[in-house]
Amino acid sequence: MSVNQTPRPDCSHPADEHAFLTLTMIRNIRLDIEYDGTAYCGWQRQENGRSIQQVLEEAIAVITKSPVALHGSGRTDAGVHALNQTANFQTTVTAHMVAFHRGLNSILPRDIVIKRATEVGPEFHARYSAKSKTYRYVVLNRDTPAALERHCCWFIPQPLALADMRACLPQITGRRDFASFRSAGSSNINPVRTVFQAELDVVDGGRIIFTFTADGFLRHMIRNLVGTIVAVGRKKLTAEDFPAIFAGCDRALAGPRAPAQGLFLVEVHY
């Protein structure tokens, strides 16, 4: 063998051959997914309803001809939407990504769309590789409800005190204990999170857009935050109540939980 040749693995033994083929054929596939969560019980598989994860795993299995375990970046609740959810799975299928992408979208229901399908390195994991996430919450604050957007916003016909609501936002950013905004049943033991962004924008048509970016979110944390801020806008709480709400570490001190349909997972940051 010349010095420029690359040694080939010794596949003379069946076990060695199997190990080599397994090593070279396993592919890690990343999916970037958009979905309308209205008809689903949430992202994660559940016994009591149809989930986004279940529908995707079943569709992928049709393409790959074998069961797969799909790992999402995190859960979204029943009725919550995603503009860019991220998931990954491993497969030995050798299909080209363009064909796989098109084939998968062709059999998925119309409320779930794969925006991108890419092969990534073996170290990538949709959940454990994530650094932060951005969510958006939409409030429709006007006299009349929306027909086409009724599943994508929280309709509030009463006027809201926007200046008071904005005064809450600087108190949310930073590294804080969000126990008062965590719903019962949360699997997170540590309630401390770092919020990098908490913004409120008013756009045409009476839409109030909340944007939150953090290194992680507790169960119903965003919906509880929005519900509390809206309570300030309704004059049922004040921005000055926020320090005591945080310090109390008691869910009962904060405002009600906002409805699920106004919440969108916007981006998972890696």
Please state, in angstroms and rounded to a whole number, the distance separating the CA atoms of residues 151 and 31.
24
Please state, in angstroms and rounded to a whole number, the distance separating the CA atoms of residues 63 and 169.
46
- How many residues belong to the chain? 270
Tokens coding 59: 């569709």
Please state, in angstroms and rounded to a whole number, the distance separating the CA atoms of residues 242 and 23.
54
Q: Which residues are catalytic?
A: 77
CB 130 within 8 A of CB 86: yes
Please state, in angstroms and rounded to a whole number, the distance separating the CA atoms of residues 158 and 15.
71
What single letter denotes the amino acid at residue 134? T
Please state, in angstroms and rounded to a whole number, the distance separating the CA atoms of residues 42 and 35.
11
